[in-house]
Structure 1
């Protein structure tokens, strides 16, 4: 692990929680409205990660139907309790409470990262978000955050702690506030973790500033797990906030710490990659928040993130070596071998509810709702894995069908690009951004109801092509996630729109990340 490149998990993999379980590291990230949810990755070296499943892996385990984008499964953490992995997470609904589904904290468990994972055990009587477990001998504790009860400024947030019954995961008392932020005026303390501190005592690790340009990693120390906690005088311990959008990474925060078998410490953090916009400015790209890795050392009992550098770097050398070798281009060909591969997800419902992969590799999609509406949509998507990507698929819409099929680039129901064909061979490229719906171009497929659709993405621009011919240039700037509006980056994949009784087929899917 002397040389590696960030991000170690490209594409929308925010809020990473990590632990060591036997000979493997296990990492879980947020997935919001997508199902299966909470992707589970394993690694032997913290750099090369393999997705092995999802903590929310099957229909009936958890219901997210009807949720808007950037709601759902927020900020999981993963810890080892005895011989089990335990993931705790929060289901977040709309602010007005109008969603009828179950919200709040829950735990799921497994004896192997590959599953099976248990049904959720709901943790009653505890509000807020971003839960994390801490084991202290035979006692189990849960920490999280919530808006301050008597807030003195907007965004003031409290970190709380409560003991849980280690068998039932139910609170044994009332949550107690243990920290109110790094300083007066600090906002949005998030993702708290309480960790045993080398040399004795405890360290509270938390994000602050909101998960955008002011994001930061802060720490506080306590002699007892229950506090009191005193902020590190050097907070924040890691941030790119003073770089604005001029660094390779921005919005750095939401750290978790893990120790490897040699005794070395590492931190997983989330970060975004700013890209050039068409107006000459710089803004967040389509990928959203990705998972990065930084080494951690201890000096006078305090953590040094990326020691000697204090930055999340694109290329990291931890043992004096040179730059890592160039990464091989990522190529995804097809939908899976015999079954959908683990990267494919649906919006608010599992792919098995609307998609079927045939033995010949052809995907059948039953019709679903409009991609701009909140409802049972038939979108089979996967995270956009790079800033420069070519993605293509052959879509066939049966004669006489009232529906359409296509390729969808989706950030939310308010921000998307659709390239689609109907049964008559009419092709359209539609862009939806907050406050605007634009048909950018129309055309005709070379065959009736069948077309090879391709999106070529380069940062915040791109091209839409049909049957090998350019249809239109596209500006994707307004699709990029906005702070406070979108917590989710872009997904891409085939979609079917129309009555559920009708089907669209997709074949020869191909995705290539260009260097």
Structure 2
């Protein structure tokens, strides 16, 4: 029976999902690009309701993002469980490349990275053992490891394989999927390289995101194709041996490019429930907003051994609870831009951000903490306690896509200033200390406002922020402070941060 779900299950900037199940528990990771901590890890019991339990890369020793450009950094992780241990592979673009980290508890701590040989991106792992062999029947057959299949030449049970995509011709979008054996205990690759796939047709663009599964004694290769925008799709191929040759499904793509309320669907990873049903996590985009690529869930059935994906639905009747953060501790949902070598924040008395020389618009790690915008419409606000003593000191509210695309409502010695990068969009006279700062987001329309501690909100300016439209990442909202290249010993205190998502039936006003 096909299943569809009110989506997304992980809203906001949560692209490239990968999932595994251990007993009744599901664990999922997504890409994080130039943001730290890297590779957020989530837990669920039903694949619909997820809770963040940590990050795989949460120590500076694990992740060097110095100088990382926008939408670079950590691409497309894969998480798998084998013999009591979690293995997570990913690629640090513009860095050493592929790596693996391991943990016995997915909440952490995770190991230091072990770097792996090979070119490309979108790595994955496949453990060819009883846990990796499944049946398409609606019972538990296959989970006990029944059926050896046709391994040949020592390709049978007990071996593990690393796959990735690599570029052959970037201008044409030509890539191929390659594979080598992975040694789990040593965390390294060994043996010859095998090229498995170069697309569902001769002119296929961007075959990527490979995942291998053993199902009904055959090997199923699932990949994305068509690029990560409107042409994004999922294709499938099958082989009797893990090294191939792989034959594509006649109906490829098995998930065609999407139109409607959710587009750009692809980059799928399969998982089987304890009841024997099949699901896929995948990314998708809600057009007309800045929230970027999100994690969606689809039901999967089987026809002649090939996966059939249910439509990706979009629910609009489930309101999201408001967030009020008084910063007793810093929750796992806050991120920094690149790797902070030392903490620039303290909690307990609200959030205090140190004024440091680093600033947005450069390739450093400024005093910035953000969290994903999770719906196209939202209201974000904070109470800022800060009296700048010099013209170069400022702090306030941030709406950030990346270094090059952001909006800042900050307090300065001249009053309140709304900036897009170096450009001043609006000013207001000096407000009393403390001051409340807010932004009302309706799609790509951003209305910034301010108020005294107990006063009424006053709109400062409305910006049509089409420049915040993302490609790989998504818009995030948060808090910022800088001393603009000068040394400073001061900090800015944010008493609280509120984020609420109006129900679609609500009035569009504040």
Q: TM-score, normalised by structure 1?
A: 0.87
Query: After the TM superposition, which of the residue ranges 489-498 and 60-69 deviates more from structure 2?
Result: 60-69
- Gaps (5+ residues) in structure 1? 94-101, 276-284, 316-323
Q: How far off is 1:103 after superposition?
A: 2.1
Contact 1:383–1:490, Cα closer than 8 Å, also in 2: yes
Contact 2:355–2:393, Cα closer than 8 Å, also in 1: no
Kindly tell me the number of residue pairs found equivalent between the two proteins. 465
Residue 112 in 1 paired to residue 105 in 2? yes
Task: Quote the residue 1:127 is aligned against.
Answer: 119
Residue 513 in 1 paired to residue 501 in 2? yes
Of residues 129, 137, 143, the one that matches 2:163 is 143
**Alignment of structure 1 residues 110-509 onto 2, 5 Å:** 110-123=103-116, 125-136=117-128, 137-148=157-168, 151=169, 154-197=172-215, 199-241=216-258, 243=259, 247-275=260-288, 285-306=289-310, 311-315=311-315, 326-336=317-327, 338-350=328-340, 353-357=343-347, 359-401=348-390, 402-422=392-412, 424=413, 426-432=415-421, 438-447=423-432, 450-467=434-451, 468-481=457-470, 486-498=471-483, 499=487, 501-509=489-497
Whole-angstrom distance in 2 between the partners of 1:24 and 1:145: 29
Q: How far off is 1:2 after superposition?
A: 7.5
Secondary structure at the aligned position of 1:339 is classed as coil
Say what the alpha-carbon RMSD is for the aligned residues. 1.9
- Gaps (5+ residues) in structure 2? 129-156, 452-456, 504-510
Whole-angstrom distance in 2 between the partners of 1:478 and 1:196: 44
Secondary structure at the aligned position of 2:339 is classed as coil
Q: How far off is 1:360 after superposition?
A: 2.9
Q: TM-score, normalised by structure 2?
A: 0.88
Runs of 4+ in 1 over 6 A off after TM superposition: none
Whole-angstrom distance in 2 between the partners of 1:152 and 1:67: 21
Contact 1:218–1:237, Cα closer than 8 Å, also in 2: yes
Q: How far off is 1:352 after superposition?
A: 5.9
Write the deviation string for residues 269-307 of structure 1: whole angstroms up to 9, x where unpaired: 1000012xxxxxxxxx2111000000000111111000x
Q: How far off is 1:57 after superposition?
A: 1.6
Whole-angstrom distance in 2 between the partners of 1:419 and 1:398: 15
Task: Quote the residue 1:318 is aligned against.
Answer: none
Contact 1:157–1:189, Cα closer than 8 Å, also in 2: yes
Write the deviation string for residues 203-227 of structure 1: whole angstroms up to 9, x where unpaired: 1000011111110000101111111
Contact 1:12–1:384, Cα closer than 8 Å, also in 2: yes
Contact 2:28–2:42, Cα closer than 8 Å, also in 1: yes
Distance 1:152 1:494, change over 3 A: closer
